[in-house]
């Protein structure tokens, strides 16, 4: 279990290094996941080697949310003071993301000949 965990952490480290080294606006863990996806596509045997560790991590995923919960408790006063602005920003960004997705799908969706007439 140590080797697969080290492999997962190595991909995260590589992503962090790329993000930091090239000053990319993408988070390092996201780049690491993309690298891992590429490695899994290139070497399917890696999938079976990582499966038990990944399954165990997913079973205990709720533990990874403990720091976020503590942060909410520690900064509860600030959230109460700025909660309305946060909610407005979340709602507006969600609506804009949905609209952008809908417009992109509409622009890229293949049109039938019958629809054009």
Rounded CA-CA distance 113/65 in Å is: 50
Residue 116 has pLDDT above 60, yes or no: no
Count of residues in the chain? 117
Please give the structure tokens belonging to residue 62: 């709720």
Say yes or no: 89 and 108 in one domain: yes
- What residue numbers bound the domain in which 110 lies? 65-117
**Number of domains into which the chain is organized:** 2
Asked whether residue 6 falls in the same domain as residue 55, the answer is yes
Confidence of residue 102 (pLDDT cuts 50, 70, 90): very high
3-class SS of residue 8: helix
Mean pLDDT value across the chain: 90
Distances (CA, A) of 12 to 9, 31, 37, 59, 108: 5, 8, 12, 20, 33
Task: Give tens-digit pLDDT for 53-66.
Answer: 999 988 988 887 78
Asked if residue 53 and residue 6 are part of one domain, the reply reads: yes
The helix/strand/coil state of 78 is helix
Q: Is the pTM of this model over 0.95?
A: no
C-alpha–C-alpha distance, residues 35 and 38, integer Å:
5
What pLDDT score was predicted for residue 114? 59
**83 and 98 together in one domain:** yes
Per-residue pLDDT tens over the stretch 34-81: 999 999 999 999 999 999 999 998 898 888 778 878 888 888 898 889
My answer on whether 30 and 78 are in the same domain is: no
55 in the same domain as 3: yes
Question: Are 69 and 55 found together in one domain?
Answer: no
How far is the C-alpha of 31 from the C-alpha of 16, rounded, in Å?
A: 7
- pLDDT at position 117 is 53
Q: Are residues 8 and 46 in the same domain?
A: yes
């Amino acid at each position: 279990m140590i080797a697969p965990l080290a492999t997962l952490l190595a991909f995260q480290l590589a992503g962090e290094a790329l993000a930091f080294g090239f000053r990319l606006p993408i988070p390092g863990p996201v780049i690491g996941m993309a690298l891992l996806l590429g490695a899994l596509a290139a070497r399917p045997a890696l999938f079976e080697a990582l499966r038990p560790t990944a399954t165990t991590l997913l079973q205990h995923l709720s533990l990874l949310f403990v720091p976020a919960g503590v942060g909410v408790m520690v900064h509860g006063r600030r959230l109460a003071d700025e909660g309305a602005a946060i909610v407005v920003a979340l709602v507006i960004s969600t609506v804009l993301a949905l609209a952008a997705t809908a417009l992109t799908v509409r622009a890229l969706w293949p049109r039938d000949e019958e629809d054009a007439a």
